[in-house]
Amino acid sequence: MTKKDIKVYFLGNKLGHSYYKFIPSKMTNKRKFEEHAFSNLKGIKRTHFISNADILFFRNRGATTTDRMVNSLSNRINDNKFIINDIRSFQNYDSKDKSFSIWIDNNLKCPNYISFTLDEIKRSNTINKIKEFQKKYGKILIRTNNETGSKGLFVLEESNKINEILSILKSRVASLIQERKDTKIICVEYINPKHDDNLHRLYRVHILFDKVLSYYVTTSTRNEFHNADMKLNDLDTFISANTEFQNILPTIRDDLIKAVKVLGCNIGALEFFLVDGRPCFLELNPIWGGHASREGFGDKEMMNYLELNKNTLIKDIPKIYTWLDYRFYYTKMYSIIRDYYRDSL
């Protein structure tokens, strides 16, 4: 017996709500080769009619999603449909202080933090609270709670810089809060590396339902760093860190799946450090993107080396090459979604 196609209705900032529901738009926030993989996979198809959908798939990125969009998208929800990344959980992962609070309540580790609304920042004792927090941890991050990357982020080691940083951040919050009411300033404990080489190891694991789709580990000496910052001289540590993580992953897998689930999501990229053998969670990105999703790892010289030496390296870092085969990767992702839905019937 031929199984019927599973129909997916995509929703996002400019997709599936308001007047966009009348416009058959392209998939938004798509990753390299994702749309190609989805379109060519048998048994799952896109529908432009929400009434025909089996699955509602929300594809919102935090930095560009306003409160008005969240409300409009929420009005499109039908709880009789299977929902991927329910927009009603948006604040849980968009606001880092809310993510931290939920993780702590569920016995998951994250950095210590304090947060302030714009009104609270104006109170006379706020500076003292930040000074006490900085004195306790030595080095802290002070930033907006819902911007991505290094936007609105400062590394603070000297308390005499607090007023200057707060002045900049208050301005950012005052602007952002017009469309995103949960915007705050957050101070976060800085997690120092505990490795002999004094290099940071930032772990990113992609979770889908109860499965680990992929993972990679980036390394750096910088306070703030991204995958694109790695260079050829980081290669040995990059390979060893990714090789070692294969053995660590089974011991923390349940915590990773739980960390996504308690935020109300069922797919996303978790970023974390390892502290005393446990993940110390930093954020969840439900629609991941960035340099690794387009160009690979590190600068061009490092990526060229990985490509030229694939036959030698793949036995040590197989997940790196699984990730880099974007067509195969997203075919696998949508195959899991298709089969998971069918098994749920």
pLDDT tens per residue, range 287-316: 998 889 999 999 999 999 999 999 999 999
CB 140 within 8 A of CB 146: no
Encode pLDDT of 309-333 as tens digits.
Answer: 999 999 999 999 999 999 999 999 9
- Cα angle 59, 61, 65 (rounded to 5 degrees) comes to 105
Confidence of residue 196 (pLDDT cuts 50, 70, 90): confident
For 297-313, give the secondary structure using H, E and C.
CCCHHHHHHHHHCHHHH
- pLDDT tens digits, 110-165: 999 999 999 998 887 899 999 999 999 999 999 999 998 778 899 999 889 999 99
Query: How confident is the prediction for the chain on average, in pLDDT?
Result: 93
Residue 92 CA: distances (Å) to CA of 107, 261, 291? 16, 11, 25
Q: Comparing 30-34, 102-106, 228-232, 239-243, which segment has the lowest mean pLDDT?
A: 228-232
Cβ pair 109, 281 in contact under 8 A: yes
| Number of other residues whose CB lies within 10 A of the CB of residue 316 | 12
Q: Give 16's pLDDT tier (boundaries 50, 70, 90).
A: very high
pTM of the model: 0.94
Q: What are the structural domains of the chain?
A: 6-92 (no CATH), 112-189 (3.30.1490.20), 200-344 (3.30.470.20)
| pLDDT confidence bin for 192, thresholds 50/70/90 | confident
